[in-house]
Structure 1
């Protein structure tokens, strides 16, 4: 089988398309013919050895896939050859075949697009955990979403609306604002590119305050970090919840007096840890997402599709922060 491998630490240009042996499933495992693999920000980091998880080389990046069952390992019930699924794995998705733990696989509902399915679990799973478990978002509350036109930002808009919130989407261009409005954002605001000086940060904080309204944002969803975090925190409501999701713009430094003055919480969101510690609650969340997807309340937006040979370009596209929605590598025709 073919796989796009990280042979040495480096950027997307270091990946090599290579022929490797086809694996066999062990106990509790499925061998899957990969249909599509979505790209996520950890894929940008892991090939540069900048992620907390470092697979032994050579390895294929890619942790989120859709596929068809090709072989079934001992002790696996409920799956048949040819069944379509979506799954999360630690790595290996940029390959024609992949071994998946049966417990990490979810049945792909009939009639739904496997490319969209590959783009569902990582972003929407993170978001439903963040908004339901970490933020306890309530209907009628105001949710501010930073980076709202990326895959995870769009998922936050859709899940927030499904939970009854008023959603304010912060983005960097009018094109991205249009995409946010298209999936349900009630209001949008445009911000510039950091870093910001003192006056720039003050102006951004004021823009956030005006966008969320006098009461402030009850929940702030921040998958961006960097110079955007402190200005956003200044717009939070009394006893609001600030969700720390990711740092593509850098790890911020917060003046904690702001948390005191607003009596607010800064809450970390580590979906991978939640998934490992609370598998049944995570499965319940994914089933809820599949229901919302079937009902048309959410739908993964695909920015671009790439063939396996161009998987490096797909990772570079995500790293550029220009993508609107999810970047997906389609491994095979279906």
Structure 2
């Protein structure tokens, strides 16, 4: 092995173009760590926010963005059991995925299904963990309930559609283009709605609303929340922070629930173990519900192109970076 590897380096906060390809020194392995040759890395909205300095977690400069990847183990450190060099794995990281290599704790790894490409595997963990934390841990979604998913054509929304279907809920997907609605239908949505349709909420009565968008959908979608419903605040990809008058909560006897999947995993070890078990179960068989839909693959050095597509909400499914 060489003494260095290539990564997209964020030396200053700003637009995606601030990322630059850099040669970084290979760090030593510590106890319980593995070194992975990354084949593909998932691109997520928090990556865009982190590079611009708008994300809640602000790593010190310089840093390498990216929370998920897939690749092959190069070597294992002391104390690692159950993994060996050559194993194909999915990585859950706290940064560093936009790179040719990464060092990760062994407990952060998941097995890559044999039937999945590295791109599909890299696109899985963030959306799946977010969906599980929101719908199961925080939202208490049950079989037979109605789930309304906003922004359903993106990676996070499609993860919620897939898991909602898996739980046994009736899933209604809201997405802004025919291509995104088709993706939601493939993921299992029973009904797909164009939010540009006048009075699109109609007679909808959703027990749970999964909302990674915020404004401009919040005001209209609130009409679809059933009495006693749970509204899951997952993110603000629409760019605006909605204001919720308290009387709306009172009149609907509704719950407004914030969702931070990564923070819950760090704060609540029991929930983290439950999520880990759920993701492993989700991966069993490899070809079942929840297989990510890839909307585009970019070279590592073209990470800015992928992030611009994400910022413009033009991506259908997950965008992925490949390292070759």
> TM-score, normalised on structure 2?
0.94
**Is 1:93–2:86 an aligned residue pair?**
no
What does residue 300 of structure 1 align with? 292
Determine if contact 1:129/1:285 at 8 Å carries over to the other structure: no
Q: 1:109: how far off?
A: 2.5
**Is 1:289–2:293 an aligned residue pair?**
no
Unpaired runs of 5+ in structure 1?
Answer: 193-202
1:183 to 178, 182, 187: 187
**Is 1:325–2:317 an aligned residue pair?**
yes
2:258 to 268, 288, 305: 268
Within 2, Cα distance between the matches of 1:99 and 1:31?
5
1:245 to 231, 234, 244: 234
What does residue 249 of structure 2 align with? 259
What does residue 169 of structure 2 align with? 165
Question: Helix, strand or coil: the match of 1:318?
Answer: helix
What does residue 130 of structure 1 align with? 134
Within 1, Cα distance between the matches of 2:318 and 2:179?
15
Q: 1:230: how far off?
A: 2.6
Deviations for 1:49-103, whole angstroms, at most 9, x for unmatched residues?
1111122222111110111111211221111011111111111111111111111
Deviations for 1:183-233, whole angstroms, at most 9, x for unmatched residues?
2211121124xxxxxxxxxx86x42243x2xxx101101000013113212
Q: 1:111: how far off?
A: 3.0
Unpaired runs of 5+ in structure 2?
Answer: none
Q: 1:110: how far off?
A: 2.4
Determine if contact 2:113/2:121 at 8 Å carries over to the other structure: no
What does residue 236 of structure 1 align with? 225
Q: 1:255: how far off?
A: 1.3
What does residue 224 of structure 1 align with? 213
Determine if contact 1:66/1:85 at 8 Å carries over to the other structure: yes
Q: Which consecutive aligned stretches of 4+ in structure 1 deviate over 3 angstroms post-superposition?
A: none
Deviations for 1:264-319, whole angstroms, at most 9, x for unmatched residues?
1111111012222233112112112213x625222100000011111111111111
Q: 1:177: how far off?
A: 1.6
Query: Structure 1 residues 111, 171: CA separation in 2 closer, same or farther (over 3 Å shift)?
Result: closer
Determine if contact 1:61/1:94 at 8 Å carries over to the other structure: yes
Determine if contact 2:40/2:122 at 8 Å carries over to the other structure: yes
Q: Which moved more, 1:66-75 or 1:31-40?
A: 66-75
Deviations for 1:119-176, whole angstroms, at most 9, x for unmatched residues?
1110011102211111111111111110010001111111111111111111112222
Determine if contact 2:208/2:225 at 8 Å carries over to the other structure: yes
Number of paired residues?
316
Question: Helix, strand or coil: the match of 2:131?
Answer: helix
Deviations for 1:213-260, whole angstroms, at most 9, x for unmatched residues?
xxx101101000013113212211111111110012221101121111
Within 1, Cα distance between the matches of 2:227 and 2:281?
30
Determine if contact 1:23/1:31 at 8 Å carries over to the other structure: no
Within 1, Cα distance between the matches of 2:133 and 2:51?
27
Determine if contact 1:23/1:97 at 8 Å carries over to the other structure: no
Question: Helix, strand or coil: the match of 2:8?
Answer: strand
Within 2, Cα distance between the matches of 1:299 and 1:40?
17
Within 1, Cα distance between the matches of 2:213 and 2:135?
16
